Amino acid sequence: MVSLKGEHIYLRALEQEDLNFLYRLENSTAVWEISGTVTPYSKNVLEHYLENAHRDIYDVKQLRLVICNTNDKSVGLIDLFNFDPQNKRAGVGIIILEEEDRSKGVGFESLQILCSYAFKTLGLRQLYANILEANTSSIHLFKKLGFEQVGVKKDWIFSEGEYKNEVLFQKIEH
């Protein structure tokens, strides 16, 4: 089993105590563009989500983990979604909530740990990520970890009154 701990961060399962963090993150309009959210989440809805967060990836086709720093502060979330064990692939998403926690290697280390877990423990062959074309920081992060750009989805996201391109990245473990 691959450890979900790195040098500066660790990944852990969602807990009931994450309600306020999840509430802040999911209701931050700054992340709605990438999450496809159009209305706020209530704490009640998020409580129900947390009650089911323990369900197995093979059942719900998703795994959401909290990114914590060495001070046990929750700084973000990292997901495997559209888990497809038949074709041995899943999508990857990552969000670091606060600007001051970004560009410090947290995303790199988190994604590195998750990729290792996906390939070695879950036996996946490929991971993919959908990134807005203007999100140069995320594009740089995924490229740094060996993801290759395999396509552009033109006018894929409608946000802030305009259509935006989304870039598709893929990493295949040989």
Mean pLDDT of 5-32: 88
In a domain, 87, yes or no: yes
Identify the domain containing residue 42 by its residue range.
Answer: 9-127
Residue 53 scores a pLDDT above 90? no
Per-residue pLDDT tens over the stretch 116-167? 999 999 999 999 999 999 999 999 999 999 999 999 999 998 888 999 999 9
Residue 26 scores a pLDDT above 70? yes
In a domain, 156, yes or no: no
- How many whole angstroms separate alpha carbon 110 and alpha carbon 10? 7
Of 152 and 1, more confident: 152
CA distances to 15, 98, 122, 165 from 23, rounded to whole Å, are 13, 14, 29, 28
In a domain, 69, yes or no: yes
Asked if 67 and 75 count as a contact pair (C-beta separation under 8 A), the reply is yes
Residue whose structure tokens are 């973000």: 76
CATH number of the domain that 120 lies in?
3.40.630.30
Q: Report DSSP state, residue 134.
A: T
Strands (E), the chain: 9-13, 63-69, 74-84, 89-96, 126-132, 148-159, 162-172
**Which tokens is 117 given?**
């877990």
Residue 61's pLDDT is 92
Residue 2's pLDDT is 58
- How many whole angstroms separate alpha carbon 123 and alpha carbon 88? 7
Q: Report DSSP state, residue 20.
A: H
In a domain, 150, yes or no: no
- How many whole angstroms separate alpha carbon 130 and alpha carbon 58? 22
Residue 35 scores a pLDDT above 80? no
Residue 25's pLDDT is 85
In a domain, 29, yes or no: yes
Rg of the chain over Cα atoms, rounded to whole angstroms, equals 16
Per-residue pLDDT tens over the stretch 66-85? 999 999 999 999 999 999 99
In a domain, 64, yes or no: yes
Total number of domains in the chain: 1
- How many whole angstroms separate alpha carbon 106 and alpha carbon 112? 10
In a domain, 56, yes or no: yes
